[in-house]
Structure 1
Amino acid sequence: MTDTLLTDLISAIPMPALLVGQTERIVAANTEAQSLLGQAIEGRHFATILRQPQVIDTVEQSLRSKEPGRARHLSNDGAQDTSFEVQSRPVNGTDAVLVVFQDVTHLEQAGQMRRDFVANVSHELRTPLTALMGFIETLQGPARDDTAARDRFLQIMADEANRMNRLVGDLLSLNRVESEERVRPKEPLELTRLIQSTLNTLRPLADDAGVNLSLDAPSEPITMIGDSDQLRQVFTNLVENAIKYGGSGGQVDVFVNLSDRDTAMRGPAVRIKIIDQGPGIDAKHLARLTERFYRADSHRSRELGGTGLGLAIVKHIVNRHRGRLRVESELGQGAIFTVILPR
């Protein structure tokens, strides 16, 4: 096989790849390898380019034994740490070794997300379970005949059990919406009626919090394709959050606006804005609000019965409807949650 053909073949590989000769110098490297490892690397000793001991040892072993090897190469693309699985394989008919870098960053991130998810669920369940076990032990012992303490402890136990029940319910809901995210809804619905029904359901909660709910929507019906149960869940979550966390302003407004060409959707769309007059959200939290178990105010969220999964559920439902979720807020200026749905 000619050197020109080897170079052309390496250039055609759609991932970073380089050829190391028996002299331990890089014979050829494709564009992707040069982007990862640096320009003008051909002709240089591979150890001065790869540098990471595990990768160097793997390539050296392949050069000596003519056997394939595998290693891990760590890098950074300027925005995040990256991880590559490196495979070195001898090229038949030559004394060279082909070294290929496969980006496995997304796989490691997915694995980390799963580990974080399990850790977060365990933490969220451990706290109420510990409280329940402690109160049960107390009721079985020192507080057995203390009526006042028993009633107080039983109420706390009921609150903690309800908290676990909400968490399990949200976990099941999150699993369901994630599994359906790529399935387009097919049923027609009338959006204004759905939002009005949601507000009517939440009005007792608003009255207890001293919050006035208002709806400003077009008079004509807004018919669209969507999952009515899931969209009701979206608006229930957002309005309930506005009441609980932004209700100190005493007002939560819902605006529904139609557009024949929305800039975000590049076509006909409807925008639903939920606006509160509360304390607002610090800008550093906005980008992470839809992450599982992320809370801008962990203590207050738990006090109000939040599970940290509500906005993650909202995000997945909006994605299923091919929509967008926008959050705008400044400290002391309230918050605006905007759901943009195609029509």
Structure 2
Amino acid sequence: MMAEPVDSLLAAVPMPLLLVGQDQRLLGANLPAQALFGAIEPGRPLVTVIRTPALLEALDTVLAGGGPVETRILRTGALQDISYLVRVSAVEGLGRRAALVALTDTTDIEKVEEMRRDFVANVSHELRTPLTALMGFIETLTGPARNDPAARDRFLGIMGREAQRMNRLVRDLLSLSRVEQEERMRPGERIDLVALLRAAIAALRPVSEAAGVEIEVLGGEAPIALPADSDQMSQVFSNLIENAVKYGGAGRKVTIEITRDARDPGLRGPAVCFAVVDRGEGIEAIHLPRLTERFYRVDAHRSREKGGTGLGLAIVKHILNRHRGRLKIESTRGIGSRFTVILPDM
């Protein structure tokens, strides 16, 4: 049995702690450790609680007189694997040498690091493709096609499109960065969102007319003033409407429905809803949960052809987070898709 001061010290630490004796039997565990491993009686061999070889080797080293050792273990949780950084340190003053095993949950940190690596890899990939094309065309124009006017005009046109693609990507990356920085800052100015929506429709009129798409608005006869950032909400409306026009099918109709809901289950209160409905091919259900991820595309080739960067819906999600709203996505193959912006009606 541990001395009372040691018991109190273990109990005061919020991270899981295991105290192990020279014979590698447990002298005690605090409540977080018991929540993680179950009830632990003093005298129980550590190997019956944790069987990770790296941890047992670290324990051997420390109990043999070595310094602190760090290692990692992975445990299977109910919904996901949980990663722990484990530090094994010597403890003196208990009559004989013992070891303290401290576990720190690093799952979220590793997820963030993985997201950062994926983000850098995706940006590199998105930039590499147009840069490779530009370098190839420049080499051709300064070499074999130097005196070929037809080839020069054709290549310059392609180079212009690739440069515009890189410009759109950089623009969206900067926009995403700004939105993330401001995500915790609530907008204070009340803005008429119906007027913003109609302005976004007017700005996209040339795009919809070129695609032969009719945009109709149902509702929104009266102004709807809510606390909002006008530039960001204009970006939300423009993004969703432009996506509907581009991917909803040429020669079809895009409908924008403006409604009020007395109680939205997600917001737990009254809400204003702006739904953008297209009659395109629809999206398979397996893709819907991932549509707001950075660079996630249902059809990468088609998206790039239409000028998409794969960041639009991620930007929309972060803007709506700032406005305490949410984005609801529904789609049926062969019928179309509905993207609904839901904002608290305050």
Would you say same fold, with TM above 0.5?
Answer: yes
1:133-282 aligned within 5 A: 133-248=135-250, 250-282=252-284
1:125-136 aligned within 5 A: 125-136=127-138
Partner residue, 1:123: 125
Counterpart secondary structure, 1:196: helix
Partner residue, 2:51: 51
Partner residue, 1:36: 36
Structure 2 CA distance for aligned equivalents of residues 332 and 248 of structure 1: 14
Structure 2 CA distance for aligned equivalents of residues 319 and 39 of structure 1: 41
Q: CA deviation at 1:48?
A: 4.0
Aligned length: 343
TM-score, scaled to structure 1: 0.94
Bigger Cα displacement from structure 2, 78-87 vs 292-301: 78-87
Structure 2 CA distance for aligned equivalents of residues 249 and 11 of structure 1: 69
Structure 1 CA distance for aligned equivalents of residues 13 and 250 of structure 2: 59
Change (3 A) 1:337 1:42: farther
Counterpart secondary structure, 2:205: helix
Q: In the alignment, is the contact (CA less than 8 A) between 1:174 and 1:313 conserved in 2?
A: yes
Report the residue type matching 1:160 in the other structure.
E
Counterpart secondary structure, 2:293: coil
| Identical pairs, percent | 55
Counterpart secondary structure, 2:248: helix
Counterpart secondary structure, 2:151: helix
Report the residue type matching 1:21 in the other structure.
G
Q: In the alignment, is the contact (CA less than 8 A) between 1:246 and 1:276 conserved in 2?
A: yes
Counterpart secondary structure, 2:249: helix
Structure 1 CA distance for aligned equivalents of residues 136 and 307 of structure 2: 20
Partner residue, 2:26: 26
Q: What are the ranges of 5 or more consecutive residues in structure 2 without an aligned counterpart?
A: none
Q: CA deviation at 1:242?
A: 0.7
Alignment of 1:111 with 2:146, yes or no, is no
Q: CA deviation at 1:61?
A: 1.9
Counterpart secondary structure, 1:65: coil
Partner residue, 1:304: 306
Q: CA deviation at 1:276?
A: 0.5
Q: In the alignment, is the contact (CA less than 8 A) between 1:248 and 1:277 conserved in 2?
A: no
- Could you list the structure 1 runs, at least 4 aligned residues long, displaced by more than 6 angstroms after superposition: none
Q: CA deviation at 1:341?
A: 0.8
Q: CA deviation at 1:159?
A: 0.5
Q: CA deviation at 1:30?
A: 3.4
Structure 2 CA distance for aligned equivalents of residues 273 and 282 of structure 1: 19
Q: What are the ranges of 5 or more consecutive residues in structure 1 without an aligned counterpart?
A: none
